[in-house]
């Protein structure tokens, strides 16, 4: 860790809960290694308190940026002054930076990090059929990145019909003919199945989808980082399917964060 | 430094300017040495933005306390839910902690730290006549602590007549017959003269008072920490008077902060 002085630049990671977040533990040693006088601290904010907290943080002159995790990724898009096309398409942001004029610009790196992690593990999604379960903050960003990476078809499943219809509508307009949305996952012809729901964080969670219903060649990916092997990934491994864990999605975002923040 | 994780407790130091503050550099290594999973970060807040920033920080669930420096010490007294008698008498706080019920309690340790630093340097103020220049956030807390430490008389000087009258009135009521307030310092019979103004932070500042007008046995103290030897302290040294620097006031508050925050 870099020693913190009065001149250290602040970055905050907003989430609820917060104790489990991994980004401070990963990013701060990288900042120290680069000699950046900057620190990322966890900021625990319940959803009901988000607006006054963000209003206050905007006035903190040495706070130069924010990372965002569950459940604030959609809400922060609305509170940013501008966002990239991919963030608006996803309806979700996970990073904001203060510009020199005091306004805040937002982007999402979840999808890019997820796809880079897949590629690094040898699972190129181009031309594949993907079943993505979970249309929340991370899931929506992953959907956009998978479509940008050239998947043949994206089947999007979520149990919240309003959320599913909103994201499905935006994606169908932007990527005609490649997107399908339904309340239940279509697994039978999926080359890659992704869990982007919180199911698996707790030991007694039901599985987000049935590994048994996938083809024998399918890759199973989970974005949950803790536990490192979820029940879903264990089921995939036991069936002999390639299992892709959550950690690479974050690890492959670190460089993108540093670029975005100019660190 | 303790590695920062999602579970690390946050403490903020509010001030404007902020780059020069010493408390994070002093306190964080102490926290690490004690194995406390807590970090103090600088929070740069201009006076005009204080209210929304504090309103936001109050809703940050893992922010457990604040330290306060120039120019916010009086304003934070008004924003706290309760304060100690000495803080209300001084009209100034420099530390706030979140209680289990979510309310904020405030205290000031500046005066206590200053007196402890004096005692450690062998300058017991008991029974002495003190001339204190500057009735701001730190000066007012030092005034209370000197009176509590048993000074025979306190001559308080400030160029702001409203501020001087308010503090002088409160102190005269609490310590009858021992307090005198005036726009100009009374130096001729002072055993100890203290600069609690910002004069001396910049090389071209005029002196806060004239060392030449003090008796030959007087002690000269400054609360400015940077530079370590102000022009005032240099003038005292050159005249052969004991010169007491600003650093001990902060160093002698560290244990008090740790106690107050339960760290």
Question: Sign of the CA dihedral B203, B208, B212, B215?
Answer: negative
Residue B103 lies in a domain: yes
| Catalytic residue selected from B64, B73, B97, B163 | B73
pLDDT tens digits along B196-220: 999 999 999 999 999 999 999 999 9
Residue A38 sits in the same domain as residue A142: no
Instruction: State the average pLDDT over residues B222-246.
Output: 96
What pLDDT shows up at residue A159? 95
**Residue in A10, A25, A57 nearest the CB of B41:** A10
Residue A164 sits in the same domain as residue A175: yes
pLDDT tier for residue B226 given thresholds of 50, 70 and 90: confident
Q: Could you say which of A50, A80, A108 is where a domain stops?
A: A108
The CA distance from A7 to the nearest CA of chain B, in Å, is: 4
pLDDT tier for residue B253 given thresholds of 50, 70 and 90: very high
| Catalytic residue selected from A64, A72, A73, A170 | A73
What pLDDT shows up at residue B143? 98
Residue A21 lies in a domain: yes
pLDDT tier for residue A173 given thresholds of 50, 70 and 90: very high
Q: Do B25 and A3 touch (CB under 8 A)?
A: yes
Identify the contact set of chain B against chain A, taking CB-CB distances under 8 A. 1-8, 10, 13, 15-16, 18-22, 24-25, 28-29, 39-46, 49, 52-57, 59-63
Residue B122 sits in the same domain as residue B182: yes
- Kindly identify which residue of chain A lies nearest to residue B45, measuring between CA atoms: A60
Q: Could you say which of B64, B91, B108 is where a domain stops?
A: B108
Residue A24 sits in the same domain as residue A145: no
pLDDT of A2 strictly over 80: no
Please give the residue range of the domain that contains residue A14: 9-108
Chain B residues with beta carbon closer than 8 angstroms to that of A7:
18-19, 42
Assign residue A42 the CATH number of its domain: 3.40.50.10860
Residue A55 sits in the same domain as residue A136: no
* Cβ-based contacts under 8 A for chains A and B: 137
Residue B190 lies in a domain: yes
pLDDT tier for residue B87 given thresholds of 50, 70 and 90: very high
Chain B residues with beta carbon closer than 8 angstroms to that of A13:
6
Q: Do A24 and B4 touch (CB under 8 A)?
A: yes
Residue B234 sits in the same domain as residue B115: yes
pLDDT of B183 strictly over 90: yes
Chain A residues with beta carbon closer than 8 angstroms to that of B40:
4
B73 catalytic residue (yes or no): yes
pLDDT of A1 strictly over 80: no
- Give, rounded to a whole angstrom, the gap between the first and last alpha carbons of chain B: 15
Residue A133 sits in the same domain as residue A230: yes
pLDDT of B1 strictly over 80: no
What pLDDT shows up at residue B12? 98
pLDDT of B92 strictly over 90: yes
- Give, rounded to a whole angstrom, the gap between the first and last alpha carbons of chain A: 15
Q: Do A55 and B60 touch (CB under 8 A)?
A: no
Q: Do A8 and B42 touch (CB under 8 A)?
A: yes
Interface test with A, best of B1, B4, B16 (most A CBs within 10 A): B4
Residue A100 sits in the same domain as residue A143: no
Residue A205 sits in the same domain as residue A103: no
User: ipTM value of the model?
Assistant: 0.91
**Residue in A19, A52, A59 nearest the CB of B6:** A19
pLDDT tier for residue B41 given thresholds of 50, 70 and 90: very high
Secondary structure (H, E, C), chain B: CCCCCCCCEEEEEEECCCCCCCHHHHHHHHHHHHCCCEEEEEEECCHHHHHHHHHHHHCCCCEEEEEECCCCHHHHHHHCCEECHHHHHHCCCCEEEECCCCCEEEECCHHHHHHHHHHHCCCCCCCCEEEEECCCHHHHHHHHHHHHCCCCEEEEECCCHHHHHHHHHHHHHHCCCCEEEECCCCCCCCCEEEECCCCCCCCCCCCCCCHHHCCCCCEEEECCCCCCCCHHHHHHHHHCCCEECCHHHHHCCHHHHHHHHCC
pLDDT of B153 strictly over 80: yes
pLDDT of A251 strictly over 80: yes
What pLDDT shows up at residue B10? 98
Q: Do A41 and B45 touch (CB under 8 A)?
A: no
What pLDDT shows up at residue A256? 94
Rounded to an integer, what is the distance from CA A97 to the centroid of its chain?
A: 17
Give the mean pLDDT of chain A.
Answer: 96
pLDDT tier for residue A234 given thresholds of 50, 70 and 90: very high
Residue B210 sits in the same domain as residue B172: yes
* Number of domains within chain B: 2
Identify the contact set of chain A against chain B, taking CB-CB distances under 8 A. 1-8, 10, 13, 15-16, 18-22, 24-25, 28-29, 39-46, 49, 52-57, 59-63
Residue B103 sits in the same domain as residue B118: no
Residue B261 lies in a domain: no
Residue A137 sits in the same domain as residue A241: yes
Residue B126 lies in a domain: yes
pLDDT tens digits along A47-95: 999 999 999 999 999 999 999 999 999 999 999 999 999 999 999 999 9
Kindly state the percentage of chain B with pLDDT values over 70.
Answer: 100
What pLDDT shows up at residue B204? 94
pLDDT tens digits along B22-34: 999 999 999 999 9
Residue A45 lies in a domain: yes
Assign residue B196 the CATH number of its domain: 3.40.50.720
Chain A residues with beta carbon closer than 8 angstroms to that of B42:
4-8, 10, 62
Q: What is d(CA A184, CA A133) in angstroms, rounded to the nearest whole number? A: 8
Residue A43 lies in a domain: yes
Residue B256 lies in a domain: no
Q: Could you say which of A59, A87, A108 is where a domain stops?
A: A108
**Residue in B6, B18, B43 nearest the CB of A24:** B6
pLDDT tens digits along A180-222: 999 999 999 999 999 999 999 999 999 999 999 999 999 999 9
């Amino acid at each position: 860790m870099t020693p913190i002085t009065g001149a250290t630049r602040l970055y905050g990671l907003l989430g609820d809960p917060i104790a489990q977040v991994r980004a401070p533990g990963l990013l701060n040693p990288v900042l120290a290694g680069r000699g950046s006088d900057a620190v990322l601290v966890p900021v625990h904010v319940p959803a009901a308190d988000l607006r006054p907290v963000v209003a206050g943080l905007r006035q903190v002159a040495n706070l130069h940026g924010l990372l965002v995790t569950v459940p604030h990724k959609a809400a922060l898009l609305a509170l940013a002054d501008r966002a990239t096309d991919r963030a608006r398409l996803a309806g979700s942001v996970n990073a904001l930076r203060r510009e020199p004029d005091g306004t805040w610009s937002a982007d999402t790196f979840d999808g890019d990090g997820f796809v880079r992690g897949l590629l690094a593990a040898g699972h190129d999604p181009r031309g594949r059929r993907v079943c993505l379960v979970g249309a929340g903050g991370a899931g929506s960003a992953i959907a956009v990145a998978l479509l940008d990476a050239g998947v043949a078809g994206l089947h999007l499943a979520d149990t919240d019909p309003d959320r599913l219809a909103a994201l499905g509508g935006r994606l169908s307009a932007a990527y005609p003919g490649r997107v399908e949305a339904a309340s239940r996952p279509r697994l039978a012809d999926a080359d890659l199945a992704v869990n982007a729901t919180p199911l698996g964080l707790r030991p007694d969670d039901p599985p987000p989808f049935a590994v048994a219903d996938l083809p024998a060649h399918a890759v199973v990916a989970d974005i949950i980082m803790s536990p490192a092997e979820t029940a879903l990934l264990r089921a995939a491994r036991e069936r002999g399917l390639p299992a892709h864990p959550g950690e690479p999605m974050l690890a492959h975002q670190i460089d993108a964060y540093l670029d975005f923040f100019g660190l």
